[in-house]
Structure 1
Amino acid sequence: MLSNKSVLITGGTGSLGKALTNYLFAHHPEIKRLVIYSRDEQKQFAMAQEYPVDRYPQIRFFIGDVRDRDRLIRAMKGIDYVVHAAAMKHVPIAEYNPDECVKTNITGAQNVIDACLDSSVERVVALSTDKAAAPINLYGATKLASDKLFVAANNIRGWNPIRFSVVRYGNVMGSNGSVIPFFLKKRAEGVLPITDLSMTRFNISLRGGVEMVMHALEHAWGGEIFVPKIPSYRITDVAEAIAPDCELRVVGIRPGEKLHEEMITSSDSFYTWDLGRYYTILPATHKWNLDEYVSHFHATRVPLGFRYNSEQNSEWETVESLRKLIKLHVEPAFSA
């Protein structure tokens, strides 16, 4: 699929961007060009040390902001596939700087869409978040708007064969700012701050997120929101897995935070189909035949009123399984 193809990742120096870069070079060495597009020069400098051009001649580092439409258009010249991972994602910071969040997550999303439509890009996958489902904070609201923009972009492409799709997943194990690295740092103090003892979250590894992106790039027909089938965990089990001897201190839920993650709402159920490994929320209007889509993917419609959230999940991580996953996916990077 990627033979002689050029790929651009917005927010390419973030957790997902770096994991995707590693995956592409490991599994698709035939890639023609990989452009890392981000606004943080220090992160680009550090990443360039990991991927020196003499060993990875395909890689390019492009300083730019998704708020800058002209810069995006220049960066996308000759690009075949785009993964849009750039976002302002910290909930409290977004609440305090709402206009900045809107400029990056909504205006930036539209700029990416416009630049792709004005270039020779063939496929676009945008990253979403569980917080976009029934949002209660500004970050979630901006990501819901972003999702809607990318889905609707398929309706304005005219005869352009480009396909836009979205991948939505929850808490990424070990990603920047997530709870597990936070607990690993705090355990030396003997006290772990817990927002609420009943809190639950979905759990997906960076590798799982990368595989979702690759699935969407290869299989999307245009307009889908892909949602993974993944286990949940209880925040108290994470604390037990990391620091069983630490005191748990309840500090209260933060503004804009949910007790449980939700990725598919009951209102979405009418448009949601089960693809086996993933669910997909299909667009209300699309340019392809639904019967052909269902037949091609052996899809089955979920029951009306179906909801997918971390509290009512049928699959759960245990303290022991969390310990194994943390040792495998998080501690090596944390101690590096």
Structure 2
Amino acid sequence: MFIDKTILVTGGTGSWGYELVAQLIEKNPKEIRVFSRNETNQVLMKQRFENNPKLTFKIGDVRDKEAVLEGCKGVDYVFHLAALKHVPVCEFQPLEALKTNVVGTQNIIEAAIENNVEKVINISTDKAANPSNFYGFTKAMGEKLIINANVLTDKTKFVCVRGGNVLGTNGSVIHVFKHGIMNKGKIGITDQKMTRFFLTIKDAIKLLFKATYESHGGEIFVMKMPTCKIKDLAQVLIDVYSPNKEVIVEESGIRPGEKLHELLLTEFESHNTIVYDNEYFVILPTIPIDGLNEFYKGYPKVDLDTYSSSDNIIDYDEIKSMLKDGGFLE
């Protein structure tokens, strides 16, 4: 699929971008364009990939339509990763989140259509499902824009992939907990009952490719992901990194816009969702898109009201195994 193709990765210097680019290189593309606004991260990434000739680095912001149009010239596939992601940042600076997550997404859509891009894959989040914070609202709007883009053209296909927290990404709770355990002897948890979806970055990118290969355009692929209690995740890290020293766990209370449990599938969406396989659900849109319902004809509908992080929680040993597989336990 990617052999001799040109691929644009927005937000390409982030954690998802690094792993995506690393796996894309193995698929023999013609060129991978890493598009981001962080000059320092681009230089470091170029060095990490040893000046790989397949990588082209472009300074740009998805808010800047001209830069996006230029970046999409001659491109076959776009992976749209760029976003403002931190919930408190988006809560207190909502206009900035709107500019990047909504206007930026629309710029990607228009640039892709103008340049006859083959497929756009938009990376979304569990916070877009029944959003309780501004970040979630902007990502939900981004999903709607991406899905609707399929009725604007018959040349470019647009698809969303929705997942939960990816272990080890920038700002990940794992890094925060490890720093607190090893340097302060203290960590903070917002609520003892809080749960979250988690997946390793390598597994997340593998699933992302699967959705890229097999999607029709116009649907939302929902990753099936393990769920765990944040306090259990913290306890595994405490036991590994401070086995002989007590670590204080402080409960600070839920932050503005934060949920106790996350959703990957809402009650409303479940009416239009099919079970694709043992790794994905697929949410079909409420607007008509040519050929989409026929494409998924015969797949069973989900037998769920919602898909919540409070369900099917993995235990201590399973968390430890997940962290070990992800390379987070020394």
Could you state the TM-score of these two structures normalised by the residue count of structure 2? Answer: 0.94
**Alpha-carbon shift at residue 65 of structure 1 (Å):** 0.2
Q: Distance in 1 between matches of 2:289 and 2:238?
A: 52
1:250 aligns with 2:251: yes
Other-structure match for 1:280 = 282
1:249-271 CA-partner distances (Å, limit 9, x unpaired): 11111110000110110011111
Give the counterpart letter for 2:63 in structure 1.
Answer: R
Other-structure match for 2:102 = 106
1:147 aligns with 2:146: no
Q: Distance in 1 between matches of 2:130 and 2:327?
A: 30
**Alpha-carbon shift at residue 330 of structure 1 (Å):** 4.7
Q: Determine if contact 1:294/1:300 at 8 Å carries over to the other structure.
A: no
SS at match of 1:22: helix
Q: Determine if contact 1:174/1:330 at 8 Å carries over to the other structure.
A: no
Other-structure match for 2:213 = 218
SS at match of 1:311: coil
1:299 aligns with 2:299: yes
* Unaligned residue ranges in structure 2 (runs of 5+): 240-245
Other-structure match for 2:56 = 60
* Unaligned residue ranges in structure 1 (runs of 5+): none
CA RMSD, 1 decimal: 1.6
Q: Distance in 2 between matches of 1:282 and 1:20?
A: 26
Other-structure match for 1:317 = 314
SS at match of 2:166: coil
1:69 aligns with 2:68: no
Q: Distance in 2 between matches of 1:290 and 1:194?
A: 43
Q: Determine if contact 2:181/2:247 at 8 Å carries over to the other structure.
A: yes
Q: Which of the numbers 172, 178, 183 marks the counterpart of 2:166?
A: 172
Other-structure match for 1:192 = 187
**Alpha-carbon shift at residue 329 of structure 1 (Å):** 2.1
1:196-218 CA-partner distances (Å, limit 9, x unpaired): 00011111111122122212221
Q: Which of the numbers 156, 175, 179 marks the counterpart of 1:181?
A: 175
Q: Determine if contact 2:160/2:221 at 8 Å carries over to the other structure.
A: yes
Q: Determine if contact 1:181/1:330 at 8 Å carries over to the other structure.
A: no
For these two proteins, the number of residue pairs brought into alignment is 322
Q: Distance in 2 between matches of 1:290 and 1:137?
A: 31
Other-structure match for 1:259 = 260
Which sits farther off after the overlay, 189-198 or 11-20? 189-198
Q: Distance in 1 between matches of 2:169 and 2:92?
A: 22
SS at match of 2:149: helix
Q: Determine if contact 1:173/1:330 at 8 Å carries over to the other structure.
A: no
Q: Distance in 2 between matches of 1:255 and 1:205?
A: 26
**Alpha-carbon shift at residue 182 of structure 1 (Å):** 0.7
Q: Distance in 2 between matches of 1:330 and 1:89?
A: 24
Other-structure match for 2:326 = 329
Q: Distance in 2 between matches of 1:100 and 1:197?
A: 31
Q: Distance in 1 between matches of 2:328 and 2:5?
A: 34
| 1:122 to 1:311, Cα distance in 2 relative to 1, 3 A | same
Q: Distance in 1 between matches of 2:257 and 2:289?
A: 36
Other-structure match for 2:12 = 12
Q: Distance in 2 between matches of 1:89 and 1:74?
A: 25
Other-structure match for 1:289 = 291
Q: Determine if contact 2:113/2:155 at 8 Å carries over to the other structure.
A: no
Q: Which of the numbers 40, 43, 58 marks the counterpart of 1:42?
A: 40
Which sits farther off after the overlay, 258-267 or 320-329? 320-329
Q: Distance in 2 between matches of 1:143 and 1:330?
A: 29
**Alpha-carbon shift at residue 290 of structure 1 (Å):** 5.1
Q: Distance in 1 between matches of 2:122 and 2:326?
A: 24
1:256-303 CA-partner distances (Å, limit 9, x unpaired): 0000110110011111110012001111123333553234xx521113
Q: Determine if contact 2:217/2:292 at 8 Å carries over to the other structure.
A: no
